Amino acid sequence: MNLEKTEVWVTGIGLVSSLGEGLDSHWTQLTSGDVPVPSVDSTSHTPYLVHPIVDFEIGTQIPKRSDQRQMGPWQHLGTYAAGLALDDAGIAHNPELLAATNMIVAAGGGERDLDVDTAIMEKINGLENPGPVLNEALNTELRPTLFLAQLSNLMAGNISIVHGVTDSSRTFMGEESAGVSAIETAVGQIQHGQGEIFLVGGAYIAERADMIMLMEFGRTLWQGEHGSVWSRRDTAGGMIMGSAGAFLILESRSHAEARGAKPYARINRVVSDRCNRQPGAARKVGDGLFKQIRDQIPPGPLPVLTGCCGIQPHLVDELDFLNNLTERGIDPVIRGVTTVLGNTMEAQFPVNVILASLAISRGAFFDPFDASGVEQAFSGDPERILISTWAHWRGESLALIEKPDVPLRGGKSK
Amino acid sequence: MSHSAKDHRGRPLVVVTGIGIVTSLGEGKEDNWRNLTAGVSGVRKISRFPTEGLRTQIAGTIDWQGEGRYCAPMHSIQLASKSAIEAIEQSGIGSRRFFPGPLFVANSPAETKWVQRMVIYNGQHGAGSNGYDRLLKNVAMDDFSRYYSLFQFGSIAEHLADKFGTQGQPISLTTACASGATSVQLGVEAIRRGDTDAALCIGTDGEICEEMVVRFNLLSALSTQNDDPQGASKPFSKTRDGFVMAEGSATLVLESYDGAKARGAKILGVVRGTGERADTFHRTRSTPDGSAIIDTINRSLVDAGMSPPEIDCINAHGTSTPENDKMEFLALSAVLGESLGSTPISSNKSMIGHTLSAAGTIEAAISLLTIEAGVIPPTINCIEQDPNILMDVVPNEKRVQAVNSVMSNSFGFGGQNVCLIFSAEPA
């Protein structure tokens, strides 16, 4: 990166999770001095646990009932959180700015109607020739709105319709990595003048049997008591999924300054790669990624937010990778965000960028999320925060979020 | 245009050095081009699953023999692999398992289909329960790890990244019917940023199943002219009644002009410009005044530094739905103005059907083949052109004509619209 490259500021945030809505609510709960108490539903999807989304007032961001009816809970959540971010950045209801706002949404899929699925499964179960009965059932049971609520790109579509964001619109799919690629691409586009202002983020609803099934195809879910992600270190591991809607406004510094927008933080860079997850492969990728950003990190304590998913061996690999930063003179002060919010999938990386930006803007770091000793206290005003995400299946990423007024380090090119 | 490796805005010039295509018309450029220029339709009666009771019973499916039970993501991966191999071989870039750039894949969102759902439902461990409880009990006891790696939303791109050795995290994307064009756009942007010298852009869609047909029927989007499959897709015709779903894939190898020249690659065309504008009007319809798609097309011209008379022909979105074709005509008349009458506008979907997520890439590939051959494929089934669509749709017969620049339109449900402009290599 050269120093001439455009700086990328975070100028707006919309966050709803299992802990609450808005930055103050998250900040209060995550800096109380005690280990935070996550919201866990351990009965609705036994034997699996989920962090359910809090109630939010859809009508405040999606006022038209006709719009509300066209979406399921996943699109409601994303459209709602996107609206919060646009409000926060001061660009909501500003047609000129909205028409110049680009959008990248990290998406999974929308809701199936599980009752309809259930009725159809019973109807065709055991039939010699289920085809015609299935056709008939689909014809009578499915509704047009349901299909639109299922389409991955319709979260972006609804954001355009409800909030009026109308420059470019892209939807990336692919679990945690989609969230990374969305922000990485937006940052790259801003840095190279391919757009001045972006709405970026995603949403995930964990309390859905079809999503639980998708994850359990790979035996990836934790069963049993809730505990911090680090409490699963000596076990076979497993994920606890969490719901969240997380959107950010990313903006070039000059664009933000021209309209008087204040930054929460600056995104120094996002780096990502992948491997086939053969033993040791992710670790090697992590080392390679760190090399790309190490010139930006001075020695000493470094706050780290990790989206460590909880699956083995990635849990131990990622934690080892972070702890081994000491060999490079860096003293990582780790917070396992999945302990308090679960794995929020496509929203996970946006959530972590939001939490990092929040901490940077408040001039303090979060209290430990876990009392096992993995997470040390950090007292001081963090200049930069590292984000680490080893996705549950594929993809490894790092990002560096920093104070907007700290001089960029070095001039070494990427 | 000069010999400069930069475009009119000083950005790296982006060129195409490899093209691959698979559609209901055949595998590979040669078969496709022969059938496209002969005006052949690839639409047929659906044989993959029983169609009894479905309003639409025709599609441009691609059915290969002997590959076992249909599995949507596997099928999309296979289609994509065929087009990618053809494109990479033509470009001569990289090596068999190493592509020196990122991967952008347009594909339909992964979904567990009814075939798989019932395989799980019929497992041995769910007795006594029903619905998703029963599915989850079976999933907990039996081995479904193959589904895990196939039905993630990023699965198709991950498998392709493994296969072709692309660099970095692949991007799986969807902008509905504009997806294929978005994959090209992302590749162009990455090269213009200087992030990479090459990009692999793939559109693939092999997702036709009962539920997809029913869903689009519910939106009244599909043709129901089941008695005449090959005549059902009739873009710009008076009696058009919807699109015909189809499957296929295309791949473009994009490179910076400098990178392609440095390795002595043959340049098949230049990506001159891309344009985009999201619509706010409705989930399945364009703003009635056409402003979003007009803007999309205008922005592609601005990005390319071109004016309407420089566009020699247009590869239309042309879905054969009453709404799309009317709106596309409205937008093209607004943008092209006086040039409209002298600009041939043809729809490949009249022959291939609508390959949804792959359409933008397939039509980009055909746009480039059009430039190379100096032949414009026809819009077939144009027996009675819609009297309200007064443009030259290249009806029924191919047109031999020198073509230097082609515009390709893609408009998606959800209001995501993309326009691409390709030109011949600068002389």
The answer to whether the beta carbons of residues B353 and B213 sit under 8 Å apart is no
- Residue B66 has a pLDDT of 55
Query: Residue for token digits 């990122």?
Result: B102
Shortest distance, CA A167 to any CA of chain B (angstroms): 5
**CB distance from A259 to chain B under 8 Å?**
no
- Residue A413 has a pLDDT of 35
Look at strands B44-45 and B171-173 and give their pairing: unpaired
**CB distance from B192 to chain A under 8 Å?**
yes
Which chain A residue lies closest to B107 (C-alpha atoms)? A173
B273 in the same domain as B159: yes
Q: What does the alpha-carbon distance between residue B408 and residue B332 come to, in Å, rounded to a whole number?
A: 12
- In sequence order, which residues have a C-beta less than 8 Å from that of residue B235 and are 6 or more positions away? B316, B318, B319, B320, B325, B347, B349, B350, B379, B381, B382, B393
Instruction: Report the DSSP beta bridge partners of residue B98.
Output: B95
- Residue B172 has a pLDDT of 97
For the cut 80, the answer to whether the pLDDT of residue B153 exceeds it is yes
Which chain B residue lies closest to A45 (C-alpha atoms)? B133
Pairwise pLDDT comparison (B425 vs B17), residue with the higher score = B17
Shortest distance, CA B382 to any CA of chain A (angstroms): 30
B124 in the same domain as B37: no
- Residue A2 has a pLDDT of 42
**CB distance from B182 to chain A under 8 Å?**
yes
Which CATH number belongs to the domain containing residue B252 in this structure? 3.40.47.10
Candidates A134, A167, A212; nearest CB to B114: A134
Candidates B49, B217, B416; nearest CB to A131: B49
Which residue ranges form the domains of chain A, and what is each CATH number? 8-110+151-402 (3.40.47.10)
Q: Which of A364-368, B287-291, B294-298 has the lowest mean pLDDT?
A: B287-291
For the cut 80, the answer to whether the pLDDT of residue B3 exceeds it is no
For the cut 90, the answer to whether the pLDDT of residue B7 exceeds it is yes
Q: What does the alpha-carbon distance between residue B72 and residue B114 come to, in Å, rounded to a whole number?
A: 11
| Residue B5 DSSP label | S
B331 in the same domain as B222: yes
Kindly state the helix (H) or strand (E) to which residue A252 belongs, with its residue range. strand A244-252
Residues 135-194 of A with CB under 8 A from B: 135-136, 138-139, 142-144, 147-148, 150-154, 156-158, 160-161, 164-175, 177-178, 180-181, 185, 188-189, 191-192, 194
How would you classify residue B92: left for phi > 0, otherwise alpha for psi between -120 and 50, otherwise beta? Answer: left
For the cut 70, the answer to whether the pLDDT of residue B408 exceeds it is yes
Shortest distance, CA B411 to any CA of chain A (angstroms): 12
Candidates A142, A175, A194; nearest CB to B153: A175
Determine whether the interchain pair B152/A117 forms a contact, defined as Cβ–Cβ distance below 8 Å. no
B309 in the same domain as B190: yes
B372 in the same domain as B265: yes
Domain presence at residue B8: no
Determine whether the interchain pair A174/B152 forms a contact, defined as Cβ–Cβ distance below 8 Å. yes
For the cut 80, the answer to whether the pLDDT of residue B21 exceeds it is yes
Candidates B122, B171, B215; nearest CB to A172: B171
Shortest distance, CA A155 to any CA of chain B (angstroms): 8
**CB distance from B114 to chain A under 8 Å?**
yes
The 3-state DSSP class for residue B41 equals: coil
| Active-site residue, from B159, B201, B209, B317 | B317
Domain membership of residue B127 as a residue range? 116-148
Mean pLDDT for the stretch of residues B14-36: 98
B391 in the same domain as B306: yes
For the cut 80, the answer to whether the pLDDT of residue B26 exceeds it is yes
**How many whole angstroms from its chain centre is CA B1?**
29
Mutation target to probe the A interface, by most A beta carbons within 10 A, among B214, B300, B303 is: B214
How distant, in Å, are the alpha carbons of A214, B371, B397 from that of B401? Answer: 52, 9, 12
For the cut 50, the answer to whether the pLDDT of residue B340 exceeds it is yes
Determine whether the interchain pair A165/B278 forms a contact, defined as Cβ–Cβ distance below 8 Å. yes
**CB distance from A289 to chain B under 8 Å?**
no
**Residue among A271, A273, A309, A337 nearest A19 (CA):** A337
The answer to whether the beta carbons of residues A325 and A407 sit under 8 Å apart is no
Domain presence at residue B7: no
Domain presence at residue B6: no
In chain B, the number of structural domains is: 2
pLDDT tier at B246, thresholds 50, 70, 90: very high
ipTM exceeding the 0.85 mark: yes
Mutation target to probe the A interface, by most A beta carbons within 10 A, among B11, B114, B208, B293 is: B114
Mutation target to probe the B interface, by most B beta carbons within 10 A, among A147, A150, A212 is: A147
| Active-site residue, from B177, B201, B209, B382 | B177
- Residue A144 has a pLDDT of 81
Domain presence at residue B10: no
Give me the residues of chain A with pLDDT under 50, please. Answer: 1-3, 412-414
**CB distance from B152 to chain A under 8 Å?**
yes
Candidates A169, A217, A276; nearest CB to B144: A217
Shortest distance, CA A345 to any CA of chain B (angstroms): 11
Q: What does the alpha-carbon distance between residue A293 and residue A277 come to, in Å, rounded to a whole number?
A: 22
Which chain A residue lies closest to B149 (C-alpha atoms)? A218
The answer to whether the beta carbons of residues B283 and B414 sit under 8 Å apart is yes
- The verdict on whether B177 is a catalytic residue reads yes
pLDDT tier at B110, thresholds 50, 70, 90: confident
Mean pLDDT for the stretch of residues B262-291: 93
B242 in the same domain as B347: yes
B387 in the same domain as B299: yes
- Residue A6 has a pLDDT of 93
B170 in the same domain as B143: no
- Residue B65 has a pLDDT of 59
Q: What does the alpha-carbon distance between residue B253 and residue B104 come to, in Å, rounded to a whole number?
A: 11
The 3-state DSSP class for residue A396 equals: strand
Determine whether the interchain pair B193/A194 forms a contact, defined as Cβ–Cβ distance below 8 Å. yes
Q: What residues of A are in contact with residue B139 (Cβ under 8 Å)?
A: 213, 216-217
Q: What does the alpha-carbon distance between residue A15 and residue A21 come to, in Å, rounded to a whole number?
A: 6
Mutation target to probe the B interface, by most B beta carbons within 10 A, among A5, A160, A397 is: A160
Domain presence at residue B384: yes
Q: What residues of B are in contact with residue A212 (Cβ under 8 Å)?
A: 136
For the cut 60, the answer to whether the pLDDT of residue B204 exceeds it is yes
Domain presence at residue B235: yes
How would you classify residue B384: left for phi > 0, otherwise alpha for psi between -120 and 50, otherwise beta? Answer: beta
Q: What does the alpha-carbon distance between residue B14 and residue B256 come to, in Å, rounded to a whole number?
A: 5
B67 in the same domain as B171: yes
Q: Which amino acid is at A328?
A: R
Q: At what angle do helices B359-373 and B28-38 cross, to 10 degrees?
A: 80
Q: What does the alpha-carbon distance between residue A147 and residue A145 come to, in Å, rounded to a whole number?
A: 5
**CB distance from B112 to chain A under 8 Å?**
yes
The answer to whether the beta carbons of residues A305 and A355 sit under 8 Å apart is yes
Domain presence at residue B371: yes
Candidates B169, B194, B283; nearest CB to A154: B283
Query: Residue for token digits 């809090």?
Result: A54
The answer to whether the beta carbons of residues B156 and B90 sit under 8 Å apart is no
Shortest distance, CA B406 to any CA of chain A (angstroms): 22
B319 in the same domain as B387: yes
Determine whether the interchain pair A117/B117 forms a contact, defined as Cβ–Cβ distance below 8 Å. yes
Determine whether the interchain pair B176/A188 forms a contact, defined as Cβ–Cβ distance below 8 Å. no
**Residue among B112, B113, B20, B22 nearest B64 (CA):** B22
B329 in the same domain as B239: yes
Domain presence at residue B9: no
Instruction: Report the DSSP beta bridge partners of residue A340.
Output: none
Residue A405: Cβ within 10 Å count: 8
The 3-state DSSP class for residue A264 equals: coil
How distant, in Å, are the alpha carbons of A130, A132, A363, B120 from that of B210? Answer: 12, 10, 55, 18
**CB distance from A210 to chain B under 8 Å?**
yes
Candidates B158, B170, B175; nearest CB to A171: B175
